[in-house]
Each structure stands twice: as C-alpha cells, then as structure tokens.
Structure 1
Amino acid sequence: MKKVLKRAAVVSVAGLMAMGLAACSGEAAASNTSGKPSTVYFGVSAAETGQYAQYGQQFKEAFDLAVDQVNAKGGINGHPVALKYEDSQSDPKQSVPVAQKFVGDSSVILVFGDYSSAASIPASPIYTAGKLLQYGFNNSNPDFTAKGTKYQWSTSITTSATYKWTADYIKKQGVKSVGVTYLNTSDWGIPAYQAFEDEAKKIGLKITDAEGVLDTSDDYKPSLIKAVKGNPQAFVHIGYGPDSAKIVTQLRSIGYNGTFYGGQDEESFDGTSAATGSIIGSEFVETSTDPEVKSFVAAFKKKYPSETDVTSFEAGAYDALNVAVAAAKKGGITREGILKGFGEIKDVPSVVYGKITFDPSTRRVASPHLTPTILKDGKWVVYNG
C-alpha cells in the first residue's frame, strides 16, 4: 500500500549519513568549516499532499533508495548527496513558489519535478531565470522541453511518441477499429489524443468515436455508450491510472468486452478486477529478467518490505537520481557544472532503458523504446501475443 507523505519540507537523512570518505583524486572535494566534504543537494518539487500524493510517495521511496546506494559508494567524488523536498501538490499555484524557493537556495544545484507537465511548465521560466536545471523526469508533454530552454531536461518518453506507438501496435495486432476516450485537458490529454488520431489516420486505423472526459468524474457511462456505439473491435483510453480504473470498470458494466488498451502500472488500476487483460506499452517491466532490473526490484523491496509492487514511477525516479549523480560527477557539483554534465554523459545505466544517453537537440533520451505488456493477476508482464 502506498502511503501519503506528511506535509513538510524534508531533507533526506540518507544524504547526511557520515561517510568518512576522502575526495577522489580527479576533483578536490570542497570542504565546509568542519573540514568534511560538503553535501551536494538536489531539490524535489513533488506532491506530498493532495490528489497526486501517491506519486510523490513513490518518487520519494525510489529517490531515497538511490541516495542510500550512491552514498554507500562514496557519493559524488567524496561528497555526500542529500535531497530537499518541497510540497507542490503538483499544482502550478504551488510549483511556481516552490521553484522560487529552490532558485533562492544556493545550495541546490538541480531540481527534480514536477510530477505533471501542467505543474512543471509554468515553473520553467523561474528555473531558467535562476540558471537552475529543472529535471522533469516524469514530464511526457513534448512542450516541457520543446518550448523550454537548456535548463529543462527529461528522461520521460513523450506522449506523442507513446500514443503513436500505441496506434501502430494496435494496427499490427490486426485491429481495424477502436473507440476512444481521452482526458479533456489542454496540457496532456488533448495533445496525446491528437498524436494518436494523426497516426491512426496515417495507418488506416478507424476511430469509430472519441469522447473527451475528466479525471474527476465518477460516471463515464454516457460517454462510453457513445464511444462503443459503432461496435469498435478494441477500446483505447488516454489517461492516468485512477480514471482508467473507473473507465474500464464501467466499460465492462455496459457489456463491452473488446480488448482495453490503457491504464497505468499503479495501485488503483492494477487492483481493478475489470482491468485484467489490459494492454499498454511500458518503459519499465518489474518482472523483467534483466539483471539490473532484478537487482533494483530486490533492493527496493528489501528497503520497503510492505511494498508489493515496483512500477515505472519508482523506476523513473531511481534512474533520475542516478543520472543527476552521473552528470555532477562529469561536470561538477555546481549549477553550471551539472548542466554541462547533462550534455556530456553517455550510456548511464538505467533500469528503464538499459542505458541513457541524451539527444542534445531535444534534451530527452535518444531512441527510447516501449515494451508491450499485459495485466495478469495484478502484475504487468511482457506480452508476446
């Protein structure tokens, strides 16, 4: 069960553990007044309270695990790593003042976040003005980087790439028609649907009907009845886990039994009985036999024994911390140095992609890939059907 964070700005204690390590010979460690190597701080702008607090908790658990591991191996050239958390509620009304606070804190050399592009993009001008790298590792809206500056970077595959892949995959499965619902939001749902629609037209996948919906709704039946009136072979929902859980449940309740393409690897959707058999393209698969993935999953469950699932949200945050550390090692432990490092790092080990190298023109992962997965017994597994 995912827990909700307490409201507060928190400094990760893992980063403050004494390491007793000398600086690596390649870079002399800066020292504080005590003579010990100074701590390197990363900020985290995330939802600790509010409707997205579940995701903030998932990020925090993965961040803290990664910090433990980094510091156990000597930190960043002898400097321990720590995190400063601020509760944005993933709301632009909060993410902007959080950005102002981090920019004003000279000890912070990079900020992770926010959970949603809708919260990250309004804060971007603040980070740019402060010359502070904003690492929106979960931000799939292409505009986060495309309309951002050299200070906005992301390891998330874009929504346009995801839903182009979805349309192509469905067509390859022999499906000729789909009904669609999508979140009627200008920052994410509508652009994602447009990418899907454009690709569907290009490849000859018929959309019998498409209905815009809101994630705050509880009754989707009127929209679903319209969406399946044309008897589509399959159904696509472009949205998040919680709304997908309600959509698929109500879709089955009105008698539609075609394959459901949608959902997320998160608690509310994975635990929905009607969601069994759903198919999505995944960046991360917990059940992968890859040694790096198996090691990460084992370490995560050892640190958090009450957590039964490890999802792409934890994996993405874990990767993000390690990418930031690699960049600081490469470029230096200043705002200018870590920015330089992001442009230079290559083949950083990743539990999501295998290895991460950025495309400097997009400031996103070069050649990201998705794996078809199907939900079985509450777990997403690789689908070869």
Structure 2
Amino acid sequence: MTASPSAFGAQPAPPVFRARHALLKRLADVVCLPSSRVNAFERAMTADLLVDMLREAEPEERMKVARRLANLTEIPASLVRLLLRDRVEIAEALLAHAQALSDSDLMDCVRTTGLEHRRLVALRRGVSEVVSEALVEFGESAVISCLLQNDLAKLSNAALEVIVALTRDEAQLAPMLLRRPELRPAHAYVLFWWADADARRTILQRFAVSREVLQDAAGDIFSLAAQENWQDPLARKALQFIERRQRNRAAIDKSPFDSLEAAVAAAQTGLTRETAEEISYLSGLKPMTGAKIFTDPGGEPLAILCKATGLPKAAIRALWRALRRPETDQTGALHPGLERVLVTYDMIAVDRAQTVLRYWNWSLSSALTPALVKAIREGDEDGAGEYSIPQRAAMLALAKEFRR
C-alpha cells in the first residue's frame, strides 16, 4: 500500500480554483469599464461583490486586483478602503500609483493601518493639508521625514506646530523643516530655543526680517497712541513690537544703574537674579524673556540681545564672563562657543536682531495668560488651536520649564 504524502509530513497542495480566478478578473473588468458601458449603480453592485470575494481571497489575487484598479480615474470607495487596509505590498499598488484616492480614503488609511502605510501616504504627490495633519498626529519620525522631503506635499499651520514641537526630541527633523516654504517666523523663533548651532544660523539668516514695512505703515499711529496716553493695551503691545527704539528709557529712572552698560558691567562679578532682571527691564524685556536668554546653553541669544540694544561686542564677553562660561579652551584659544556667539553678533543687523528679540519677548511673556500657563503645566499642547500665535509659541518654548 502506498503511503499518502501527508504521512511523511508533506502538506497537500492547495486546490486551484480556476473559476474563482476567472470571476475575480471578470468582476474587476466590469469595475474598470467606462461610464458609457456601466452606470454608477451597476459599478457599485459589482464592487460590493468583488469586495466580498477579496476578503477571503489569496494575497496574490488581491494584489492583481489592486494593480488593475490603480490606473482608474474613479475607484469604488468600498474597494479602496479594503485594499488600503491590506498588507503593505498590496496597499502600495494604490498608494504609489492611484491618483484617484480622495483625502477621505487616505485619512482612513493613515488612521487604521501602520507606520509603513503612513510612510507611503507621505510620499504621495500632492498630499493635502488635512492628510498632512493626520500623518503628523502619530509623531513618527520616518513618516514626518518623508512628508518634509516631499516638495509636493502641503503642510497646514497645525501640522507645522506639531512638527516644531517634535524637533525638540527629534533634532534630525529640524533641517528638513527649515527648508519648508510654509514655515513662518512664528515657528522658527520657537524652534530656535532647542535648535543646534547650524539650525540657529539658518533661522537667523532666513527669518530675522526687518520691520521697516511695519514702521512705515504705523509711523503716525505712535502720536495718536501717545495722545490717548497709551491706554489701549492692545495697540500698546503691537506698537511696542513695531517701534524702532529697543531700550526702555523709563526703566532707567527706576533702576539702580545709570544705564544698560552699567548694569552689564556690574554683572561681570556674577550675574544675580536682581541684576539679570534690571538688564532685562533696561533692554525693554520682561524678566522671563531675559531669564530664557541668560540660561540658554548655546549663547546665541546673548548676541541678539547685545546687537538689538546697541551694546558693543565687548558686552558679550562681559555677559559670558558673568555667566561663568569658559572664554578660552585648553590651548588658550578663543572658546568655540564664545566664538560662535561673536560671529552671530557680526552677522545680524540691528533691526533684524530687534525683530527676533521683540518676538521672543512678545511670545514668551506678553502671551502668558493664566489659561495658557495652565495648559502648559497640564501638557495640553493638543488644545493649542484656541490660542493666538504668540501664545502657542510660548506654549511650545516653555513647556518643559513649566513641567519641572
């Protein structure tokens, strides 16, 4: 008696259902017919039947159907949803080639599949703002890298804010983000606080813009505000951002120092909290902004502060010394950190330095309402949409400080 193959451990070959293969092909043919040959109801009915068969079909059969449908200008939604949720190699046939996929189709794929599916979506031509927002929700570096490098993708303001926040822990995203045309100063000035030296230089070169247009447009408004004794806080805050003068002359009358230069000189023996606050007030800054500048590990904000307020380059060395930072390396040469800060001072114009400094002051202090502080402490960055641009900037830049 001859033993059966299964007796030796071999599995019987799966049955070949020729009728199934033929039927799947014919159903796909009907779905692919032009509208002149089949109406919408007939196409939908055929698609429903095809979906029911594909659920139990072999992967190779689903792949053939996906490839067949990829070139259609209109694909039945039920088929799209099934195939986009399938294994990556099957979904890729549509994600890489089908132009007929709607934002709804793509968002369903993004939210019901995995990282590799989302990466393929991020690589598609013409990814819309709403799809980009869905992609960045997951915080996946591999996906966001593809999205940022996709020149035909469009990024919404909300998506940009999520990515800016992610760059704090995913530094490799920063250079790609800084190349995006959608990025605005509001995003870049926040990213600056945790960016590396190269990214900071890029931010200052690209986003440290002049306020000359604003100054020309609002030049006659200052006298009107003065006539009203600066009683309107909304206009006062905006005009403080626009005005040419950086130093706070009124603060000198209340300060123990005769000038900003005198306060900086006094700090060389050791920067106390009181002296730091006085330097901030005399520079036209709130103490919180000054504290952020003085505690920044890179030091470039010191260059911005000195250039914006008209302090000489020697003031950078004085503040560097006041912060007990090394001025030379082991060989006696200028310390690389101090050298980088001095170069920053030379590369930026006064008006542009003032723009950066005032934006920091605007976003890191004036925008801190009680509701914002509460949101920062609770880590409610997802609810940032209800806040203004400077408030959201403050939320991003100060989130770690408020969580300590």
Which range, TM-score by smaller chain? under 0.3
More helix by share: 2
Higher relative contact order (CA 8 A, sep 6+): 1
Question: Larger radius of gyration, structure 1 or 2?
Answer: 2
- Report the TM-score, using the length of structure 1 for normalisation: 0.26
More strand by share: 1
